[in-house]
Amino acid sequence: MTETMPPIRPIRITSGGQVPLADIVGRSDTISAWWEDLDRTSLRLNEPRRLGKTTALHKMASAPRPGWLAAHTTMEGRTTTVDLVNHALRDLQRRAGNPAVFGEVQGRLRRARIKQIKVEVKGVGIQVDADSTPETSFDSLVRVLHETARVLTERHKRLLLIWDEFPDAIRAIAEKEGRGAAADMMAAFRGLREAESTGSIRWILCGSIGFHHVLRELRSGFATIDDLGVTTLGPLTADWSRWLAACLLRALDPRDTGAAAPWLADASDGIPYILELMVKTIAQGAAQPADARAAGRLLVSAATGPLTEGLPLLERVSRFYGDTAPLANTILDRLAEAPRTPAELVRGLRTTGMNADVIDRVIELLTYDHYIRRDGSSDLLTWTYPSLMTIWRARRGRLT
């Protein structure tokens, strides 16, 4: 651990819930890099589930860079276009942290007598006419954002809209209103970003389901998101995951010396959720690991014990790979035995009569989902996170 790390203090496990701001660990370098990227472009972020996306974005929005306002909202539970747009409008007012900007936006809209939009102030939110058609409602959003951009530019400010679980909402809209409606929505948002290309408003679109799954289901290409910069989060650094491990152990026992912290941190690959799962298993009576092997065994108990209800880390395969889920499972199994090149995988699967193009496509999806990665020089495919591979092996059969 480096000298710059803060002193160890007890941090209680939140596992799955919203972490109090003061207990959000690390991520500062990544957040700085995101702010820099946002100078040029809006972004999309996709990582395995529970890696810490929402937590990092929460930290980012809580302390915007000078000159920026930020609003972080989840689109989870939005199932219609009107619902999503109205939610975005309400949230814009409620969370963007600067009522003056939105007060002025509303004033301008009223002065312009934009009656068909019927934007009203209701307490803390903007209410769009409940009878609006989807088109009218989307127009309202465009108009409000456009006015907002103008006010922001005059005040030399910029606005970051972080829309979490956005792909999930698009998928829900496709289910309820049809693929066409969802694809139109994606295209409309693309147009909106283009219209705001001066940079007063930027977006981070984040989701536990990657756009690659959603767009595949919509049978539409990447054209509606090809303007977005692709960004990643990755695990906590080794220093921060060891620090967090020591703090979680300290919360279990005020006399804990943190001796097991490095083993826990290494076994978790810096994924805080896995770290917490392991510490919870210790809280339930498991021994603290004294070496890497013991940490590996603890991870297996954590992944298969009673705490794993809803362990969501690897559920994408069964949910989103459709007909190719069995193939994806087999590929993950083979790569859990040993790294292999795509050609070796295709050769090994030939007896199953599987088409090489389909295999390549599934490899691509597994790569987009960050389950596996391809080494540029050797062309070998491996699991990205050994801890996820261990959990996969331990839970195989229950996940599929």
Ligand X SMILES: Nc1ncnc2c1ncn2[C@@H]1O[C@H](COP(=O)(O)OP(=O)(O)OP(=O)(O)O)[C@@H](O)[C@H]1O
Q: Interaction with Mg ion in 69-98: which residues (CB under 5 A)?
A: none
Q: Considering only residues 49, 94, 297, 374, which one is a binding residue for ligand X as defined by CB under 6 A?
A: 49
Q: Which of ligand X, Mg ion, none does residue 77 bind (CB under 5 to 8 Å by kind)?
A: none
Q: Write out the DSSP string of 163-224.
A: EETHHHHHHHHHHHH-HHHHHHHHHHHHHHHHHTTTTTEEEEEEESS-HHHHHHHHT--STT
Q: Which among 54-62, 93-101, 280-288, 352-360 is the span making contact with Mg ion, rule CB under 5 A?
A: 54-62
Q: How many residues does the chain have?
A: 400
Q: Would you count residue 17 as binding ligand X (CB under 6 A)?
A: yes
d(CA 164, CA 172): 14
Q: Contact, 125 vs 172, CB < 8 A? A: no
- The interface with ligand X within residues 155-214 (CB under 6 A) comprises 208
- Nearest approach, Cβ of 53 to ligand X (angstroms)? 3
- Tokens representing 300 are 């297996």
We find the least distance from the C-beta atom of residue 285 to ligand X, in angstroms, to be 21
Tell me which of 51, 105, 144, 214 binds ligand X, using CB under 6 A.
Answer: 51
Using the rule CB under 6 A, is 15 a contact of ligand X?
yes
Q: Residues 34 to 53: which contact Mg ion by CB under 5 A? A: 53
For residues 47 and 235, the answer to whether their CB atoms sit within 8 Å is no
Q: Judged by CB under 6 A, which stretch of 80-88, 134-142, 270-278, 382-390 contacts ligand X?
A: 270-278
Angle of CA points 179, 183, 186, to nearest 5°: 145
Q: At closest approach, how far in Å is the CB of 313 from Mg ion?
A: 13
SS3 content of the chain, % helix, strand, coil (to 5): 55, 10, 35
Pick from 54, 81, 241, 384 the residue near Mg ion by CB under 5 A: 54
What does the alpha-carbon distance between residue 81 and residue 139 come to, in Å, rounded to a whole number? 12
Among 26, 64, 134, 167, binds ligand X (CB under 6 A): 26
Selected from 102, 166, 211, 273, the binder of ligand X by CB under 6 A is 273
Q: Element (H or E) spanning 251, and its range?
A: helix 238-252
Q: In the complex, which residues of this chain contact ligand X (CB under 6 A)?
A: 14-17, 19, 23-27, 49-55, 208, 244, 272-273, 276, 312
